[in-house]
Amino acid sequence: MSSVKKNDVIKQSEKLPKTTKLEKGSAKAQDLGKGKKKDSRKKSTASEGDNMDPAEVNDLVVCNLCKQDMCSPKHLPCLHTFCETCITKHIKQEKAQSTNMHVVCPTCEYHISVPRASDETKTFAESLPVSTLVSSLLSKKDLLQKKCKRCKQHGRDTTADNWCAYCAQTLCDEHLEYHLSLTSNRHPVFDVDEVIKNPDIGFASKKCKYHEKEDMKLFCNDHWNICCNICSKRLHGMCNTCLIEHDTSTIKTHSEITNLKRKLESISTHTEKMRQDILSNIEAMNKQVSLEKENIKEFRIQINKQLDDLEQQLCHELDHVHSEKLKELEREAHIVDMKHQTSLMYKTMLSVVLKDASNIQSLSNLADIRHNAHRLEDELRLDKYKLQKIAIQVSLKSRDF
Ligand SMILES: [Zn+2]
Ligand SMILES: [Zn+2]
Ligand SMILES: [Zn+2]
Ligand SMILES: [Zn+2]
Ligand SMILES: [Zn+2]
Ligand SMILES: [Zn+2]
What CATH number does residue 112 fall under? 3.30.40.10
Domain boundary among 111, 129, 147: 129
Domain-located, residue 178: no
Domains contained in the chain, number: 2
| Beta bridge partners of residue 75, listed in sequence order | 81
Contacts (Cβ under 8 Å, ≥6 apart) of 255: 28, 31, 32
pLDDT score recorded for residue 401: 54
Domain-located, residue 166: no
Alpha helices by DSSP H, listed for 144-254, are 149-153, 173-182, 192-197, 229-235
Which of 57, 91, 96 is closest to 74 using CA atoms?
91
Domain-located, residue 61: yes
Contacts (Cβ under 8 Å, ≥6 apart) of 270: none
Q: Extract the residue ranges of the chain whose pLDDT is less than 70.
A: 1-51, 116-119, 202-205, 246-248, 384-386, 398-401
Q: How far is the CA of 80 from the centre of ligand 2 (A)?
A: 4
Q: How far is the CA of 15 from the centre of ligand 5 (A)?
A: 22
The CA-based diameter of the chain, rounded to the nearest angstrom, is 174
Q: Is the ipTM beyond the 0.85 threshold?
A: no
* Protein residues with C-beta less than 5 angstroms from the ion ligand 5: 208, 210-211, 228, 230-231
Q: What is the pLDDT of residues 220-230, one digit of tens each?
A: 888 888 889 89
CA distance 115 to 136: 30
Question: How does the average pLDDT of the chain come out, rounded?
Answer: 81
Q: How far is the CA of 178 from the centre of ligand 4 (A)?
A: 10
Whether residue 91 contacts residue 57, with contact meaning beta carbons closer than 8 Å, is answered with no
pLDDT score recorded for residue 37: 37
Domain-located, residue 353: yes
DSSP for residue 129: P
The bridge status of strand 81-83 relative to strand 111-113 is unpaired
pLDDT score recorded for residue 354: 93
Q: Domain containing 65: what range? A: 52-129
φ and ψ of 353, to 5 deg: -60, -45
Domain-located, residue 327: yes
Ligand in nearest proximity to the CA of 106:
2
Q: How far is the CA of 74 from the centre of ligand 6 (A)?
A: 27
CB atoms within 10 A of CB 61: 22
CA distance 300 to 14: 85
Domain-located, residue 160: no
Q: How far is CA 44 from CA 35, 271, 362, 387, in A?
A: 15, 18, 134, 100
Domain boundary among 77, 100, 129: 129
pLDDT score recorded for residue 17: 41
Domain-located, residue 321: yes
For the chain, report the end-to-end CA distance as a whole number of angstroms.
Answer: 98
pLDDT score recorded for residue 21: 39
* Protein residues with C-beta less than 5 angstroms from the ion ligand 6: 220, 222-223, 236, 239
pLDDT score recorded for residue 55: 83
Whether residue 204 contacts residue 231, with contact meaning beta carbons closer than 8 Å, is answered with no
Domain boundary among 79, 96, 129: 129
CA distance 374 to 330: 26
CA distance 344 to 373: 11
Domain-located, residue 95: yes
Ligand in nearest proximity to the CA of 235:
6
pLDDT score recorded for residue 167: 86
